[in-house]
Amino acid sequence: MYCERQWGLIHIENAWSENVLTIEGTQVHERVDDPEIFESRGETFYSRSVPVVSNKLNIQGVIDIIEFQKNKNGVFISSKSDYYMPNIIEYKHGSPKMEDYDTVQLCAQAMAFEEMKNCILDFGFIFYNQTKRREKIFFTTELREKVVMLIKQMNEYYFKQVTPLPVNLKKCKNCSLNNLCAYNIKNMSAEDYIKKTLKEI
Ligand code: SF4
């Protein structure tokens, strides 16, 4: 959602580079993602860093935290021999955004979880570190369709091993991959790009 070229550089070309924003994000996840931390309060318990996979969508990922609340309408948890309602929670270091980058990610995680547990989740939560608030996100039909469409596009690029071209250069300033991306390639012929790069070198 942020930038399809950034996704291609990371997942097709195995490129990575840190900047202050990615380091801040990693710091927020350090405690959240520790699977050794076990918390339980009354009839609620928490699982951290839960791996999920969807064979239908052809994706895998990790849910930061799942809060399980005892509820006879929930899913059966064999280690507890009882039913619990899962609330999936994603942690973000910033604040809520106008764009739906975060909600699409959460919904994709929810859809993979649903497939694994044969259940339907109506909503999940995103906790923003900057506002220290949990935002409730409903998994609407529209949001689910967007997830399916984006994953279809990703799979097409992945199987062709084609890294998408840059489309929105406004985002490049804050992107940790801008030193690897050649984001100004879009408006340049290959010959001009090579000349410019050689001149810079
Ligand atoms: S520098 Fe710009 S085009 Fe390149 S990956 Fe980052 S956001 Fe995308």
Average pLDDT for 181-196: 76
Q: What is the pLDDT of residue 136?
A: 97
Question: Are 144 and 100 within 8 A, CB to CB?
Answer: no
Q: What percent of the chain has pLDDT over 70?
A: 92
Atom of ligand 1 nearest to the CA of 171: 7
Render pLDDT for 77-129 as a digit per residue (tens, 0 to 9): 988 899 999 999 999 988 888 889 999 999 999 999 999 999 999 999 999 98
Between these two residues, 138 and 130, which has the higher pLDDT value? 138
Q: Is the CB of 176 under 6 A from ligand 1?
A: no
Range of the domain at 32: 4-200
For 160, residues 6+ apart whose C-beta sits below 8 A from its C-beta are: none
Using most ligand atoms within 8 A of CB, pick from 1, 2, 5, 165 the residue to mutate for ligand 1: 5
pLDDT of residue 38: 65
How many domains does the chain divide into?
Answer: 1
Question: What is the predicted pLDDT for the residue at 131?
Answer: 92
Which residues fall within 8 angstroms of residue 162, CB to CB, at 6 or more apart?
Answer: 8, 12
Report whether residue 7 contacts ligand 1, using a CB cutoff of 6 Å: no
Whether the predicted pLDDT of 186 surpasses 80: no
Q: Is a pLDDT exceeding 70 seen at residue 53? A: yes
82-92 β-sheet, strand order = 39-41, 44-54, 59-77, 82-92, 123-128, 133-138
Q: Work out the average pLDDT over 1-14.
A: 92
Q: Can you give the pTM of this predicted structure? A: 0.84
Residue 9 CB–ligand 1 contact under 6 Å:
yes
Q: What is the pLDDT of residue 21?
A: 74
How high does pLDDT run on average in the chain?
88
One-letter identity of residue 95: S
More confident residue, 183 or 4: 4
**Out of 27-31, 50-54, 79-83, 159-163, least confident range:** 27-31
Ligand 1 pocket check: which of 167, 170, 173, 175 to mutate, most ligand atoms within 8 Å of Cβ? 175
Asked if residue 175 has its Cβ within 6 Å of ligand 1, the reply is yes
Residue 72: band (very low, low, confident or very high) from pLDDT cuts 50, 70, 90:
very high
**Would you place residue 201 in the very low, low, confident or very high pLDDT band (cuts 50, 70, 90)?**
confident
Q: What atom in ligand 1 is closest to the CA of residue 4?
A: 8
pLDDT at 25: 72
* Mutational test site, ligand 1, from 3, 10, 22, 186, max ligand atoms within 8 Å of CB: 3
- Mean pLDDT across the stretch 181-192? 74
User: Is the Cβ atom of 171 under 6 angstroms away from ligand 1?
Assistant: yes
